[in-house]
Structure 1
Amino acid sequence: MAEKGIKTQDWAAFRAEAQRMLEAALDQMQQAADRPWQPVPDDIGARYAVTAEALGPQAAVDRIIRDVLPYHGGNTHPRFWGWVQGSGLASDLISSLAAAAVNANMGGRDHGANYMERAVVDWTRARMGMPESASGILVTGTSQATVIAFQAARLRVLKDLRKQGQGAVRLTAYAGEGVHNATLKAVELLGIGSDNLRMVPLADGKLDCAALAEMVASDKAEGAVPFLVVGNAGTVDLGLFDDLNALADAAAALGLWLHVDGAFGAWTRIAAEPYRSLSDGIGRADSIALDFHKWMYVGYDCGMALLRNEEEHRAAFAARPAYLEGAERGLAGGEPWFCDYGIDLSRGNRALKVWTALETYGEAAFSEAITGNCELAALMAAEVEAQPQMALGAPVVSNVCVFTARRDLAPEAQSQVNARIAQTLQESGEAVFSTTRAGGRVMLRAAITNHRSREADVRAAIAAVVREASK
């Protein structure tokens, strides 16, 4: 009977195509500065149409080199500062090869990858200043980490939540104005409701703890159950940091779970001063959400949820039906299993990307890169202030610079100019700024989480803004 199904008939030919793909990937990374984002062709959808016929590895590699590599999102380019996107690392290529070959399922069981994830969790926990008893799990990103943390926080106040649901209990959560949309999505997804996410005013760019106390008291008087407050370690629009020590004190006094959104800003913990002190107090949180694929630069996707209390973390998710029973010996051993600490049972080996990056470059290199990104944001601010027609939208605190190209125009005209410049420079491949709103105007925004960026890139990008602003 003829062999059927999926098979590699000619390993020598496959090896040759894999090596050709490896060389193309290395070229893509090495030549990142010459490969900015570009508009996709009109027929790109047709090019990606799935064919039923087997064309073989040579045809697949041909199509990837021709139709996939050129039309990337641009975040590998040294002048990409749009939104908050990481730039990826050359070490990701090495870890991805190993991950594909092993194909580990990180839900549990006794194999090496789970020990690696525990090592990465321990390293991160220590850098954040959490106790050795804290637990963590690698996830898709801060959005998923936020859901995991909020679910554990709910169980602290509603012990029978997993069996009985939230019922008529009105839980209220609190966050400073400008909190990331991940928090809003989490309260909606968990059935808390966006109306019960109370936005606390800021004082000097930080959550106002006095206003928080007043809001908690008011909500309690109306029969609500306040349960959680979210602190920011780097707001998405302006890169602002709450006073996390003051917020930890307030949360303890008010009986609230303190969650810190540290998607990118948590990594100031390994930066040099004055940036490191921005996140002082983060280790006092009940939970932290952070990303490696932003300011630790590793490839997408890779985030982490850290929780101070391992028992509360496990209680929120542990479930072992008969087919997942553990054992003292064999492959079903290896407790604890990560499926008991999060949403996913089937999980890829994200830890390998982080571990390989740290083994390859060393922690000091990441510290220097993160510090350097903040220094580049300060340089960009200085370049903006040196231009008579430009102005900052807010002081630069960390790695985010928001500015207008034409402060001499009316607000609506400024918005139009800034939006046009962002689009023009994206399309020309010169630089990628995103936009945001500040002071009632659309402004240009650079979030510098790019290890490839240099001073020359900042100066060239601002020069391009000046040129376009004069048109």
Structure 2
Amino acid sequence: MSDKPLDPQDWSRFRADAHELLDHCLDLLQGAEDRPWQHPPEDLEDRYAIGQSQQQNSDLMTRLRDEVLPYHAGNTHPKYWGWVQGSGLATDVTASMVSAVMNSNCGGRNHGANYMERAVIDWTRRKMGLPETAFGVLVTGTSQATVQAFAAARVKVVGKDVRQQGHGTQRLTAYAAAGVHNATKKALELIGVGSDNLRLVPLKKGQMDIDALYTMIAEDRAAGALPFLVVGTAGSVNLGFFDNFNALADVAQSEGLWLHVDGAFGAWTRIADEPYRSLTDGLERADSIALDFHKWMYVGFDCGLCLVRDGADLRATFAARPDYLDGKDRGVASGEPWFCDYGIDLSRGNRALKIWMALESFGEDAFSAAITQNCHLAKQMAQEVQAQPKMALGQETISNVCVFTADKTLSEAAQSELNVRIAVELQESGQAVFSTTKVNGVEMLRAAIVNHRTREADISDALAAVSALSSA
């Protein structure tokens, strides 16, 4: 047996196979429009079972090409708009290679990946308009970022002893617009506040009703609760609504609440052209922002960010250094700050590299243009829907989310049935991926365009396919 049993036994063969696989992967990315989602075969789980015969394992590169790469999630395709999933970049491939070779644990210590992460966070801080005190940590996505931000809000409002003692019988209350993403409910459950203490504020013209918010806060205080958090939404998941962040910041300031913004995709309108940039005016007044790079910044999964106005609040919530993690002035254990002091994870991969490579390769202006173009394409879809005699919008298209019904002349139940059938048939045929959502009792087709590969012709072709299926 080799004295290095987990290294390739034939490096020359491995190198040749890897070069061939890299070329194949790049070919697939370059031709992404030819690779829509497809149903995995029924026996795929059996094929993936660990410990198959040596004969089956003899050519893993072939198996990767034939049994792994074809069954992707579909979101690299230019007509994938069903869910808010970024399209991925060619630079992700090379970033993944470099990241694998470095194999960095970004929980702390003194090495290059942590410097890069700080640079990415600082760039994002400036784009969001937060002050120099702001800091954050790259995480799996907005769901994890939300948990960490809410935990910081609880420590800030209740006091640092809550880490050791909990908040006991004290009822904490949080506030968000009706239709807020489920990540907010989950986060409140995970930090012990409980989703029953999330007060859903009614909407007024697509935004949280500020008068109703004030009323709810006063009612809860009168009942003995401690209001601690208000959650604004930058791009609601169903309809793409944006709250009025300046108004929410005024409420938070006057009532002593922490203002968090769920900016999973919508926060990135901060770098778009007008009129979309103005949708996030006031974002710079938030105490925390949760956002994803793997959505509207297009990089590969997973990559989110918890960004807090005062990094000291995040550190006060998570810093815990046992003896074996004690920092030093010199050597590997130097290099403050350590990211394990700002979040849940001690073992962390190098998420910053793919962001850094993308920005350095294409430049900020290219991302601004792509985000703006996605919004223009959603407007185009809305205009083409309105031009169809039977189609109808479910809601005005604000940014990049377009929701519509294929045949408004039908009953609500019949419309829902038709729209669901169309969505599934388009998915299974590989023509386009819409999801569905409910608006005023009707399950409608929904397109969330966060795909840098989408072009005007893709919109027209997909709507033509919808029209054809609605008449079938």
Scaled by the length of structure 2, the TM-score of the pair is 0.98
The within-5 A match list for 1:300-449 is 300-449=301-450
1:36 paired residue number: 36
Check 1:362–1:54 CA distance in 2 against 1; reply closer, same or farther (3 A cut).
farther
Aligned: 1:5 with 2:13: no
Q: How far does the alpha carbon of each residue in 1:14-48 deviate from its partner, in whole angstroms, 9 at most, with x for none?
A: 10111111011111101100000011111111111
User: Corresponding residue for 1:76?
Assistant: 76
Alignment partners' CA distance in 1, 2:3 and 2:463: 62
Q: Distance in 2 between matches of 1:204 and 1:47?
A: 52
Q: Which residue of 2 aligns with 1:123?
A: 123
One-letter code aligned to 2:201: V
Please tell me whether the aligned partners of residues 270 and 276 of structure 1 are also in contact (alpha carbons under 8 angstroms): yes
- Match of residue 268 from structure 2: 267
Q: Displacement, 1:4?
A: 6.1
Letter in 2 for 1:468: L
- 1:234 maps to what in 2? 235
- Flag the 1:54–1:256 CA change in 2: closer, same or farther, 3 A: farther
Q: Residue by residue, what CA displacement relative to the aligned partner does 1:129-167 show, whole Å, maximum 9, x if unpaired?
A: 000110111000000000000000000122211110121
Q: 1:159-174, aligned counterparts within 5 Å?
A: 159=159, 160-174=161-175
Q: Which residue matches 1:455?
A: 456
Post-superposition shift, 1:58? 6.2
Who is 2:245 aligned against? 244
TM-aligned CA deviation for residue 3 of structure 1: 2.7
Instruction: After superposing the two structures, state which structure 1 stretch, 68-77 or 57-66, moved more.
Output: 57-66
Partner amino acid, structure 2, of 1:255: G
Tell me by how many angstroms 1:53 deviates. Answer: 6.0
2:109 is paired with a residue of what secondary structure? Answer: coil
Letter in 1 for 2:217: V
Per the TM alignment, residue 82 of structure 1 is displaced from its structure 2 partner at its CA by: 0.7
Q: Conserved in 2, the CA contact under 8 Å of 1:17 and 1:57?
A: no
Q: Distance in 1 between matches of 2:45 and 2:312?
A: 48
Q: CA deviation at 1:254?
A: 1.1
- State the AA in 2 paired with 1:84: V
SS in 2 for 1:352: helix
Would you say the 8 A contact 1:268–1:370 is kept in 2? yes
Q: State the alpha-carbon separation in 2 of the partners of residues 56 and 66 from structure 1.
A: 13
- Cα contact 1:385–1:391 (8 A) shared by 2: yes
Do structure 1's residue 141 and structure 2's residue 128 form an aligned pair? no
Distance 1:291 1:366 in 2: 14
Change (3 A) 1:319 1:251: same
Once the two structures are superposed, residues 36-73 of structure 1 have per-residue CA deviations (whole angstroms, 9 ceiling, x without a partner) of 00111111111111126667986111111001111111
Q: Distance in 1 between matches of 2:464 and 2:80?
A: 15
SS at match of 2:463: helix
- The aligned counterpart of 1:224 is 225
1:357-384 deviations in Å (ceiling 9; x for gaps): 0011110000000000000000000010
Q: Which amino acid aligns with 1:460?
A: D
Are the counterparts in 1 of residues 37 and 430 from structure 2 also a CA contact under 8 Å? yes
Q: Please give the secondary structure, in 2, of the residue aligned with 1:174.
A: strand
Shift of 1:309: 1.1
Q: Which residue of 1 aligns with 2:49?
A: 49
Deviation at 1:170, TM superposition (A): 0.5
Q: Which moved more, 1:184-193 or 1:328-337?
A: 184-193
Q: Is the 8 A contact 1:229 1:256 kept in 2?
A: yes
Residue 250 of structure 1 and its aligned partner are, at CA, apart by 1.1
Q: Is the 8 A contact 1:14 1:57 kept in 2?
A: no
Contact 2:157/2:257 (<8 A) preserved: no
Cα distance in 2, alignment partners of residues 105 and 150 from structure 1: 25
Gaps of 5+ in 1: none
Find the residue that maps to 1:316 and give its secondary structure.
helix
Q: How many residues align?
A: 471
Partner of residue 294, structure 1: 295
Question: What CA distance in whole angstroms lies between the structure 1 residues aligned with 2:169 and 2:88?
Answer: 45
Seen in structure 2, the aligned counterparts of structure 1 residues 99 and 369 have a Cα distance that, compared at 3 Å, is same
- Is this contact kept in 2: 1:109–1:332, CA < 8 A? yes
Determine the C-alpha separation between the residues in 1 that align with 2:2 and 2:51.
24
Judged with a 3 Å threshold, the aligned counterparts in structure 2 of structure 1 residues 455 and 58 are, in CA distance, closer, same or farther, namely: farther
User: Gaps (5+ residues) in structure 2?
Assistant: none
Counterpart amino acid of residue 75 in structure 1: N
Aligned residue for 1:71, secondary structure, equals coil
Moved over 4 A (4+): 52-58
Q: Are the aligned partners of 1:17 and 1:58 in contact in 2 as well (CA < 8 Å)?
A: no
Tell me the distance in 1 between the aligned counterparts of 2:29 and 2:57.
22
Quote the offset at 1:239 in angstroms: 0.6
Native 8 Å contact 2:77 2:453 kept in 1: yes
| 1:149-164 superposed matches below 5 A | 149-159=149-159, 160-164=161-165
- Give CA deviations for 1:74-102 in whole Å, capped at 9, x if unaligned: 00000000111100001101101100111
For residues 201-220 of structure 1, what are the structure 2 equivalents within 5 Å? 201-220=202-221
Structure 1 residue 429 displacement after superposition: 0.3
Distance 1:103 1:78 in 2: 32
Alignment root-mean-square deviation, CA: 1.2
* Residue matched to 1:66: 66
Q: 2:87 — aligned with what?
A: 87
Cα distance in 1 for partners of 2:230, 2:369 equals: 32
CA separation in 2, counterparts of 1:55 and 1:273? 59
Kindly provide the CA deviation profile for residues 165-224 of structure 1, in whole angstroms up to 9, marking residues without a partner as x. Answer: 121110000000111010011011111111100000111100111111100000001110
Letter of the 1:146 counterpart: T
**Is the CA contact 1:139–1:303 (under 8 Å) kept in the aligned structure 2?**
yes
CA shift in 2, pair 1:125/1:4, >3 Å: closer
Do 1:125 and 1:134's aligned partners in 2 also have CA atoms closer than 8 Å?
Answer: yes
Kindly provide the amino acid, as one letter, of the partner of residue 107 in structure 2. G
CA pair 372-164 structure 1, distance change in 2 beyond 3 A: same
- Kindly provide the amino acid, as one letter, of the partner of residue 313 in structure 1: L
What amino acid sits opposite 1:142 in the alignment? T
Report the more deviating stretch, 157-166 or 210-219. Answer: 157-166
Cα offset for 1:7? 2.5
d(CA) in 2 for partners of 1:49, 1:251: 52
Report if the CA contact (8 A) 2:406-2:466 is conserved: yes
Identity of matched residues, %? 64
CA distance in 2 between partners of 1:130 and 1:3 (Å): 53
SS at structure 2 position matched to 1:70: coil
